A and B are shown apart, each in its own frame.
Chain A
Amino acid sequence: MPLLTSLMAPFKQRWHRWRDRYLDKHLPSRPRIHFGQQQLFVFPTALGGIWLGLIALCYLLGTNYQNNLILLLAYWLLAVWLLAIVLAFRNLYQLELSSVTDIDGQAGQPMIVPLQLNRACQGLHLQYGDAAPVRLSTSTAMVLPALSRGSYPLARFKLWSEHPLGLIRCWTYPQLACQVWVYPQPQRLAELQTSASDQADSNDSIDGLRDYQPGDALRRVDWPRLARQQRLVVRDVGQATQHDPTLISATQCNEVLASHFAAVVLEAQATAQPIALQLPHCQLTYGNSREHYQQLLRALATWS
């Protein structure tokens, strides 16, 4: 019904705005979220609604038959419903949810976000975006669907429980202050795969290198080559191709190139080779520690 949806659209927008404002105010992005009264929402489920109908039916039956036992049954069902509200709330009350601050993952592959709860909670379910709801038990982890390359803050997800008797649902929308770094899928490009030995002998500027002439800008000197081979060469302007396997350098963003660089970094990590990075938004010197490789991948993730 397109007419109905178009009529309801402005109201929906206002509702969404109000909801987002409320959520941002009471459930801001934090690394450790504490669920208090302002953060939890409680409402009966469908079964809870039908339960009230059952109570009305029993009350009717008891009144028509003037039978006190059926009335007692109706009152007991009502007492159970009222208690379920309190129990559902207390199930999630003062729960603390925390996670790590950064998650790294590959594009196109699901990632796992480890979650930590400060106490056991019964019947807890979690739903991230449009994924299927997952039951949280002792091993608490959230699986993110496959994302494309980039760096994203973790979106709001829904956490709920229908713990006692399935009558009342208690839910919340936490937002963890967790940054997700999705580096590109490693895919090496064949034509860039050149060995170092080929370049050692050439002396002219086929590959964009020529001998140093006094007056050349020192910026364009290939210093690593000097350190390795004691040759002072200068790189020509306009060469975007890179032949040095230990330096990642580029000016314009290119998905294919990014995948290639990711493959380079991962291979280097496997062999503990030092890698440096020179991108428009980030420059990193040589290093081969684990954090260094992580920073390289993150730089590739945010390359635009």
Chain B
Amino acid sequence: MVMTQRLLFFVQLGLLALLSSAMQPLTQAWFAVLLLTKAYQLTHPAHSVWSVRTANLLAIAGISCFLLLYQQLGVVHLMIHFLYFAAVLRLLSIRFQQHDVAQLLLVHYLLFACCFILQQQLWFALVVTPFLFLNLIAQWLWASGDAEPQWQFPALPIALSMVLMLLLFVIAPRLSPFWQVPSPKVAKTGLSEVMSANSIDQLLTSDELAFRVSFDDNNQALNTAMYFRSRIYNTFDGNEWQSSFNQRPLRFDSTLPRIRYQVIAEPHQQQWLFGLGSAVDIKPSDIFSNQHGLLVRQQPLAQRIAYQVSSIDAIPKTERSLQAFLQLPSALNPQTLQLAQQSILQGHSTAQVVRRFSELVASGDYRYTLSPGAMTSPHAVDEFLFSRKRGFCVHYAQAATVFLRAAGVPARMVGGYLGGQWQANDRYLRVSQANAHAWVEYLENNQWKRYDPTLLVYPELTQQNASLQQGGLLQQLGGDFWSPGHFGGMLIQWVQDLDYYWASYVLSFEKDDQQLLQDQLKQWLQQHWQTLTVTLGALLLLALGYWRYVGWRRLPLPQRLLGPLWAFKQPQESVDRLLERLALANPQHQAAIRQLQQDYHQAVYQRAVFQREVFQGPEHPQTGGSRHRHQQQTHQRWACWWQSQRLYRRVQKAN
């Protein structure tokens, strides 16, 4: 039973590492202490396992402590804590009666399922698999009594089970969620409700994956500007912009050309998703398009999902009053307001106002930089536009929005992602947090139009190969090896592509994909049923023939050689006597029977002669001579068998 305990201990150690994203450092340390106690128990068998009372007391204490952390943990993480705590205590107080080990094994399987709630990447799944098998092997050992000296690793059953699992995965029906379940707490990443220069600058240097997009029509994609709209920021208080929370679904009919794509979004604990233009057709029904054409999800995103969208390159009209889009903090940024007033006095149209701002930025000595330094004065826009002239997307967009609003043009700031990196021969676009961007939308002739002032200064942003150092941490450690051109960089690339295919084909395998696959299979079967039947028939015949051959091989040698003549043999009779009897009974075949007898003797008894010759004759090297003779012997045996077949037919005809 020690082997089973050891295996279960390693499984729990693995689970501690795998579930670490659900645990806090304090609780992790506590579990580590308990596991160390178990390790001590294993290495010192003299100390008996804990009594059930000790385990129960500790359980009560532990549960109350965990409940205190409820606010921080959330429901899902708390449940995981309870399950894992129960498993560890059970292992510490294990007694090998019927129920203890069985309960522990079942809880372990449940904990593996909980692992998958937390993370779904490919590497994670690959790391979980060996621990799963370890648990299975522990169960195997326990069921066979743990004392089998001839235990061998059940490789074939495990392989068969994986094949069967994939088959069930493709065939078994998929249902929509039965009820709402609490989702685990994930760190909030990406754009938040508040946009300001300070909040976004760290994001712009991070190469963390935000989402991946694959398009149905790559050519169409390559000709579209990759502006992924995520949030709209309306209210400016001088420092930061607040986003408006609007959840009314969109009804937008348009005959404009649609672009179809699939997005695989990483969990960011927010309800806002990413889409080009206005989304019209969205696949999973818990995501909808709100009044501004932005994608909203009913629940914050806590695990990686894939969604399919059809978008049009237009922004829906807004039914609200336009007053919200003209809001400006009073008595701030006087210089900008004055400049805007000039435009109003000159009676500029909206297009002219926009052109005025563009000229201002293009002609002035404006630069794009990610670290312009903190703004000192409360008139941030004035400071940027007229003195500093250094900033990144937020500064430019902010300034443009303030200017437009002051000039009487309804405008709003839009946060989202611009561009990305095409991967794997342009199969999919990888958008990282560094592609986060802010631009402006203004109303002209009752239509919203996009305007990106940053491009005036830094036009390369739209190019979809905006490069950033890949594998930031690795590069810091390993230097040149991990940069894109070198082997390390290619390795990272390959791993990322693998992760994409994993997410695209396995994680987002939906009911429609299943249906598609089944239809394809049906179609293929209909096309190729003839070749399939022929191949299967041939295989079946081969298998049958092989089975018969194997059965024939099990017979003793005399029976094999005589073939059907064996039926004539009496139980107490020898083969020689049988053949003599046959010779007497069928005088016309006497010669053939004599020949058969001779061949039979040679085939059966000559082996001893071979060995004698080998030992006696030093001039015949052992390998060459014996191999030749072995061939001869096989030939004789087959000749004997063939002769007996012919003889049987003749004898049967005679009798």
Which residues does A use to contact B, with CB under 8 Å?
47, 50-51, 54, 57-58, 60-80, 82-83, 87, 120, 122-123, 135, 137, 162-167
Q: Given the complex, which residues of A lie within 8 Å of B608, measured CB to CB?
A: none
B161 interface neighbour in A57, A69, A80, A122, Cβ under 8 Å: A80
Report how far A86 CA is from B502 CA in the complex, Å. Answer: 32
Q: Given the complex, which residues of A lie within 8 Å of B132, measured CB to CB?
A: 73
Which of B33-41, B144-152, B250-258, B367-375 is found at the contact surface with chain A? B144-152
Q: Given the complex, which residues of B lie within 8 Å of A64, measured CB to CB?
A: 177-181
Report how far A57 CA is from B148 CA in the complex, Å. Answer: 33
Report how far A71 CA is from B110 CA in the complex, Å. Answer: 12
Q: Is B585 an interface residue (CB 8 A)?
A: no
Q: Is B291 an interface residue (CB 8 A)?
A: no
Assess whether B303 is in contact with A164, with CB atoms less than 8 Å apart. no
| Smallest CB separation, A231 vs chain B (Å) | 54
A123 interface neighbour in B145, B168, B169, B507, Cβ under 8 Å: B145
| Smallest CB separation, B161 vs chain A (Å) | 4
A63 interface neighbour in B109, B147, B178, B305, Cβ under 8 Å: B178
Report how far A164 CA is from B157 CA in the complex, Å. Answer: 10
Q: How would residues 80 to 119 of chain B score, 1 for a CB under 8 Å from any chain A CB and 0 otherwise?
A: 0000000000000000000000100010011011001100
A–B complex contacts, Cβ < 8 Å, 22 sampled:
A47-B102, A54-B110, A58-B113, A63-B176, A64-B178, A64-B181, A65-B303, A67-B120, A67-B303, A68-B169, A71-B169, A72-B506, A73-B113, A76-B161, A77-B109, A79-B168, A83-B160, A120-B150, A123-B143, A163-B144, A166-B102, A166-B142
For window 170-226 of B, CB contacts with A under 8 Å fall at: 172, 174-181, 183
Which residues does B use to contact A, with CB under 8 Å?
102, 106, 109-110, 112-113, 116-117, 120, 125, 132, 136, 139-140, 142-145, 147-148, 150, 154, 157, 160-162, 164-165, 168-169, 172, 174-181, 183, 284, 303, 305, 506-509
Q: Given the complex, which residues of B lie within 8 Å of A65, measured CB to CB?
A: 117, 177, 181, 183, 303
Report how far A163 CA is from B120 CA in the complex, Å. Answer: 34
A-B contact sample (7 more), CB < 8 A, given A64-B179, A83-B164: A70-B113, A73-B116, A75-B165, A78-B165, A79-B161, A164-B140, A164-B157
A123 touching B144 in the complex, CB below 8 Å, given contacts A68-B509, A69-B125: yes
Assess whether B136 is in contact with A68, with CB atoms less than 8 Å apart. no
Assess whether B106 is in contact with A54, with CB atoms less than 8 Å apart. yes
| Smallest CB separation, B166 vs chain A (Å) | 8
Assess whether A122 is in contact with B144, with CB atoms less than 8 Å apart. yes
| Smallest CB separation, A165 vs chain B (Å) | 5
Assess whether A122 is in contact with B148, with CB atoms less than 8 Å apart. yes
| Smallest CB separation, B97 vs chain A (Å) | 13
Assess whether B509 is in contact with A164, with CB atoms less than 8 Å apart. no
Assess whether A79 is in contact with B145, with CB atoms less than 8 Å apart. no
| Smallest CB separation, A52 vs chain B (Å) | 11
Assess whether A57 is in contact with B110, with CB atoms less than 8 Å apart. yes
Between A57, A68, A69, A123, the greatest number of chain B beta carbons within 10 A of the residue's beta carbon is seen for A69
Assess whether B125 is in contact with A63, with CB atoms less than 8 Å apart. no
Report how far A87 CA is from B157 CA in the complex, Å. Answer: 9
Report how far A142 CA is from B601 CA in the complex, Å. Answer: 47
A165 interface neighbour in B120, B143, B147, B509, Cβ under 8 Å: B143
Report how far A205 CA is from B100 CA in the complex, Å. Answer: 78
A69 touching B507 in the complex, CB below 8 Å, given contacts A80-B161, A83-B161: yes
Report how far A260 CA is from B509 CA in the complex, Å. Answer: 84
Q: Given the complex, which residues of B lie within 8 Å of A68, measured CB to CB?
A: 120, 169, 506-509
Main SS class of interface, A: helix
A76 touching B150 in the complex, CB below 8 Å, given contacts A60-B178, A63-B177, A64-B178: no
Assess whether A69 is in contact with B162, with CB atoms less than 8 Å apart. no
**Closest residue of chain A to B154, judged by CB?**
A164
Assess whether B116 is in contact with A69, with CB atoms less than 8 Å apart. yes
Q: Given the complex, which residues of A lie within 8 Å of B110, measured CB to CB?
A: 54, 57-58
Assess whether A72 is in contact with B179, with CB atoms less than 8 Å apart. no
**Closest residue of chain A to B302, judged by CB?**
A65
Report how far A54 CA is from B136 CA in the complex, Å. Answer: 15
Assess whether A66 is in contact with B177, with CB atoms less than 8 Å apart. yes
Q: Given the complex, which residues of A lie within 8 Å of B154, measured CB to CB?
A: 164
Assess whether A50 is in contact with B106, with CB atoms less than 8 Å apart. yes
| Smallest CB separation, A244 vs chain B (Å) | 48
| Smallest CB separation, B571 vs chain A (Å) | 19
Assess whether A162 is in contact with B177, with CB atoms less than 8 Å apart. no
**Closest residue of chain A to B103, judged by CB?**
A50
| Smallest CB separation, B417 vs chain A (Å) | 24
Q: Given the complex, which residues of A lie within 8 Å of B161, measured CB to CB?
A: 76, 79-80, 83
A75 touching B172 in the complex, CB below 8 Å, given contacts A64-B178, A83-B160, A164-B140: yes
Report how far A120 CA is from B144 CA in the complex, Å. Answer: 13
**Closest residue of chain A to B177, judged by CB?**
A64
Report how far A58 CA is from B109 CA in the complex, Å. Answer: 9
Report how far A67 CA is from B304 CA in the complex, Å. Answer: 9
Report how far A77 CA is from B168 CA in the complex, Å. Answer: 11
| Smallest CB separation, B158 vs chain A (Å) | 9
Report how far A49 CA is from B545 CA in the complex, Å. Answer: 40
| Smallest CB separation, A59 vs chain B (Å) | 9
Between B139, B165, B180, B303, the greatest number of chain A beta carbons within 10 A of the residue's beta carbon is seen for B165
The 4 closest A-B pairs by CB, nearest first: A166-B143, A79-B164, A69-B116, A75-B168
Report how far A139 CA is from B449 CA in the complex, Å. Answer: 88
**Closest residue of chain B to A60, judged by CB?**
B178
Between B132, B140, B144, B174, the greatest number of chain A beta carbons within 10 A of the residue's beta carbon is seen for B144
| Smallest CB separation, B551 vs chain A (Å) | 14
**Closest residue of chain A to B160, judged by CB?**
A83
Report how far A61 CA is from B79 CA in the complex, Å. Answer: 13
Assess whether A54 is in contact with B109, with CB atoms less than 8 Å apart. yes
Report how far A164 CA is from B147 CA in the complex, Å. Answer: 14
A164 interface neighbour in B112, B116, B143, B178, Cβ under 8 Å: B143
| Smallest CB separation, B126 vs chain A (Å) | 12
A67 touching B145 in the complex, CB below 8 Å, given contacts A72-B169, A83-B160: no
Report how far A76 CA is from B106 CA in the complex, Å. Answer: 14
| Smallest CB separation, B61 vs chain A (Å) | 28
| Smallest CB separation, B147 vs chain A (Å) | 8
Q: Given the complex, which residues of A lie within 8 Å of B116, measured CB to CB?
A: 67, 69-70, 73
Q: Given the complex, which residues of B lie within 8 Å of A70, measured CB to CB?
A: 113, 116-117
Q: Given the complex, which residues of B lie within 8 Å of A50, measured CB to CB?
A: 102, 106
| Smallest CB separation, A47 vs chain B (Å) | 5
Report how far A47 CA is from B169 CA in the complex, Å. Answer: 24
| Smallest CB separation, B89 vs chain A (Å) | 20
Report how far A37 CA is from B301 CA in the complex, Å. Answer: 54
Q: Given the complex, which residues of A lie within 8 Å of B150, measured CB to CB?
A: 120
| Smallest CB separation, B252 vs chain A (Å) | 27
**Closest residue of chain A to B148, judged by CB?**
A122
Report how far A58 CA is from B102 CA in the complex, Å. Answer: 17
| Smallest CB separation, B283 vs chain A (Å) | 12
Q: Given the complex, which residues of B lie within 8 Å of A78, measured CB to CB?
A: 165, 168
Q: Given the complex, which residues of A lie within 8 Å of B172, measured CB to CB?
A: 71, 75
Report how far A83 CA is from B168 CA in the complex, Å. Answer: 13
**Closest residue of chain B to A61, judged by CB?**
B113
Assess whether B164 is in contact with A82, with CB atoms less than 8 Å apart. yes
Report how far A165 CA is from B176 CA in the complex, Å. Answer: 32
Q: Given the complex, which residues of A lie within 8 Å of B509, measured CB to CB?
A: 68
| Smallest CB separation, A141 vs chain B (Å) | 18
Report how far A66 CA is from B177 CA in the complex, Å. Answer: 7
Q: Given the complex, which residues of B lie within 8 Å of A75, measured CB to CB?
A: 164-165, 168-169, 172
Report how far A189 CA is from B145 CA in the complex, Å. Answer: 50
Report how far A51 CA is from B135 CA in the complex, Å. Answer: 14
Between A60, A64, A76, the greatest number of chain B beta carbons within 10 A of the residue's beta carbon is seen for A76
| Smallest CB separation, A66 vs chain B (Å) | 6
Assess whether A63 is in contact with B144, with CB atoms less than 8 Å apart. no
Report how far A167 CA is from B144 CA in the complex, Å. Answer: 11
Q: Given the complex, which residues of B lie within 8 Å of A135, measured CB to CB?
A: 145
Q: Given the complex, which residues of A lie within 8 Å of B143, measured CB to CB?
A: 123, 162-167
Q: Given the complex, which residues of B lie within 8 Å of A163, measured CB to CB?
A: 143-144
| Smallest CB separation, A71 vs chain B (Å) | 7
**Closest residue of chain B to A81, judged by CB?**
B161
